[in-house]
Amino acid sequence: MIHAHKPDEDGYDLWLRYVPIEDMSLLHTYRAAITNIMQPSGSLTLNIAQNELVRGLEGLLGVLIPLTNTLTPGAIVLGKPTFAKLETESIGDEGYIITSTQGVIVIAGNTDIGVLYGVFHFLRHLQTHQSLENLPIISAPKLKYRVLNHWDNLDGTIERGYAGFSFWDWHKLPDYLSPRYTDYARAVASIGINGVTLTNVNANALSLTPQYLQKAVALSDLFRPYGIRVYLSARFSAPIEIGGLKTADPLDADVIAWWQTKAEEIYRYIPDFGGFIVKANSEGQPGPHDYQRSHSDGANLLAHALAPFGGIVIWRAFVYANENPEDRTKQAYDDLVPQDGKFEKNVLLQVKNGPLDFQPREPYHPIFGAMPNTSLVLEVQMAQEYLGLATHMVYMAPLFKETMDAETCDGPLAQTITGMAGVANTGSDRNWCGHPFGAANWYTFGRLAWDYTLSSEAIAHEWLRMTFSNAPRFVQMATEMMLTSREAPVNYMTPLGLHHIMARSHHYGPGPWVTGGRADWTSPYYHQADSEGIGFDRTPFGSNAISQYCSPYREQLSNRDTCPENLLLWFHHVNWQYILMSGRTLWNELCFKYNEGVAQVRQMQAAWDSLAEFVDAARFEHVRALLVIQEKEACWWRDACLCYFQTFSKLPIPAEYEQPTESLEYYMNVQHYFVPGIPESRF
């Protein structure tokens, strides 16, 4: 294995590395076309854009590009120069135009934020070795709200966080602003994200007190020039916990007054405060149902308080209850769809990509396309809660695209939404996301929220070129590896539509045997394995969750023979001897899929090993070591699940496959302590 003769990197610079261009012909072309930057005058945002451009060009071109006040050929001009006669109406408030005219490169926008976004795109253009003859570039975001959800707690822990602790140092705020906050803002702005929720959706009411609002002000002031608005999670019971009231009933006059006063207070601190994100009546969180009120009652309470200031309420549709005997995947639809049209205009309903909970594969959530009179936000998760935490390489773009391209009653899902929210996978680890490839998911979220028509392959190409190397062989092989990396864990964890069979609480590793406590947090509730077969019957003969989807998809799902096989066990209870399209029985197909997942990881290992010459030794060895862990854990998942399901099928694992190395009893007794991402008290 021959490593590249490159300086070791730790991943801190993410996709903003700005390393020297090695293609000398391209370098000379860029240098000839870019000789100076016409110094913009105006806002702090334009100064940031200028400084980023200077920094990027110096790194990429190996020379310091001077600033001038004179317009000359070879200049880059930032702003909205009148001489260029650019038509900018089509790009709105955040879009940009990058063009070349009279020997001058113009990066223009209707706002300074648009110019900043354009600068980052221009640098991306150079980083990925694109021709300057490909100009003009005209781009505007397709979604209005593009918000990162940090599930960070005030004590520094991160719920479902696998890359260290929170880098919000609440103890030192507001007086000390870590330089990392600025680098975070640069990364966020570079991919067009325009909102950040600082605190966990399992909210702590303290975040709304003056002590913590003063801390949020410091972050908001830093983020504002980068086009980033701050949001806070709001605990529905805050009027009781920090307000001294005896109730949080959304129709109570004192509660209404309390939230109005609180909104006024927040906007005195943060004039451009984005608004609240709320998790209510789900997994023990307080909400309007505690007072026999509807979700629209609860959301509208906050919406009325924020409306005078232009704020919004992002109300999460992740609602279900153990007391409800209905199929958990149906509960959010049943509860919320009848309230379509009852939410105030400044309420956005934030809906997970699938009806359960960020599983390796789910059908799209049936709420999409079913609430035409309500603004919807698609929620996805970059943190790999159910996909191997930060030790497995899983490129999430195919998962996101699978959802966004789904056909709903109102057309492609992406065209039915107002915004996109992503559960962040960042933390205090030096490389931000734990796994060196984890940052690809952060990058992907921003790029798709800006332009959901981009392909998974195109985004992978961009990220690889900016993060590692522009070498064609590297980009081709690493892209193939990334595009395989999502289907691999689907196969070695939950093939053919299986779901929610992970270990209890920490969700690390297999647990198809998990029972006890509330039924909807156990595995048999979902896989329904018995001597006849396996799978959750959601047809009219079962829970009838299929009825929540529109025609013709509903009919396709209802028929076991036409249901997509990758969702077969999500919607059907299928006999072990049922013959699939491969010609294999269901049992043999499960064995095949579990082994295929392991084989795909081994193929990823071989592919990565062949790319050592293109990557610095430090990052190469980090990825290589994590792939060893992933291969080991893929085998663990495969063997544990097949051993367990074999107790129902009573059928042998075909001899051509590797046989489990341990007994089912062994796998069932594996215990893991202090897994990252959950409070210690949960063990």
DSSP string, 518-587: SGGGSSHHHH---SSEES---STTTT-GGGGSPTTHHHHHHSTTTS-GGGHHHH--EETT-B-TTS-BHH
Residue 82's pLDDT is 63
Residue 71's pLDDT is 86
Q: What integer is the mean pLDDT of 68-92?
A: 82
Give the 3-state secondary structure of 283-340.
CCCCCHHHHCCCHHHHHHHHHHHHHHHCCEEEEECCCCCCCCCCCHHHHHHHHHHHHC
What is the dihedral sign for C-alpha 551, 556, 557, 559?
Answer: positive
Asked if the model's pLDDT at residue 676 lies above 70, the reply is yes
Active-site pick, 9, 249, 335, 385 = 385
DSSP 271: T
- From 82-86, 509-513, 565-569, the region with the lowest mean pLDDT: 82-86
Q: Where are the domains of the chain?
A: 24-139, 145-467, 490-536+573-682
pLDDT tens for 446-458 read 999 999 999 999 9
Asked if the model's pLDDT at residue 58 lies above 60, the reply is yes
Residue 41's pLDDT is 81
DSSP 158: B
Average pLDDT, the chain: 96
DSSP-assigned states of every residue in 57-120: HHHHHSSPPPEESS--TTEEEEE--GGGT---GGGTTT-EEEEEETTEEEEE-SSHHHHHHHHH
Asked if the model's pLDDT at residue 428 lies above 80, the reply is yes
Q: What integer is the mean pLDDT of 135-149?
A: 96
Active-site pick, 183, 241, 272, 283 = 283
CATH architecture for segment(s) 490-536+573-682: Alpha-Beta Complex (3.90)
Residue 194's pLDDT is 98
Identify the CATH assignment for 24-139 out of 3.30.379.10, 3.30.540.10, 2.60.40.180, 3.90.79.10. 3.30.379.10
Q: What integer is the mean pLDDT of 44-64?
A: 97
Residue 290's pLDDT is 97
CA 402 from chain center: how many Å?
14
Same CATH topology for 24-139 and 145-467: the answer is no
pLDDT tens for 570-586 read 999 999 999 999 999 99
Region of residue 312 (phi > 0: left; psi between -120 and 50: alpha; otherwise: beta): beta
Asked if the model's pLDDT at residue 683 lies above 60, the reply is no
Is 357 catalytic? The answer is yes
| 680 or 617, higher pLDDT | 617
pLDDT tens for 282-333 read 999 999 999 999 999 999 999 999 999 999 999 999 999 988 999 999 999 9
DSSP 654: P
Confidence of residue 83 (pLDDT cuts 50, 70, 90): low
Terminal alpha carbon distance of the chain: 42
Active-site pick, 13, 357, 487, 639 = 357
Residue 577's pLDDT is 98
In the CATH hierarchy, which fold is given to the domain comprising 145-467?
TIM Barrel (3.20.20)
pLDDT tens for 376-390 read 999 999 999 999 999
Asked if the model's pLDDT at residue 252 lies above 50, the reply is yes
Contact residues for 298 (Cβ-Cβ < 8 A; gap 6+): 236, 250, 278, 280, 287, 288, 315
Residue 79's pLDDT is 87
- From 87-96, 124-133, 489-498, the region with the lowest mean pLDDT: 87-96
Grouping H, G, I as helix, E, B as strand and the rest as coil, residue 196 is strand
Is 385 catalytic? The answer is yes
Q: Which string of b and e fits 359-375 if b means at least 16 CB within 10 Å?
A: bbbbbbbbbbbbbeebb
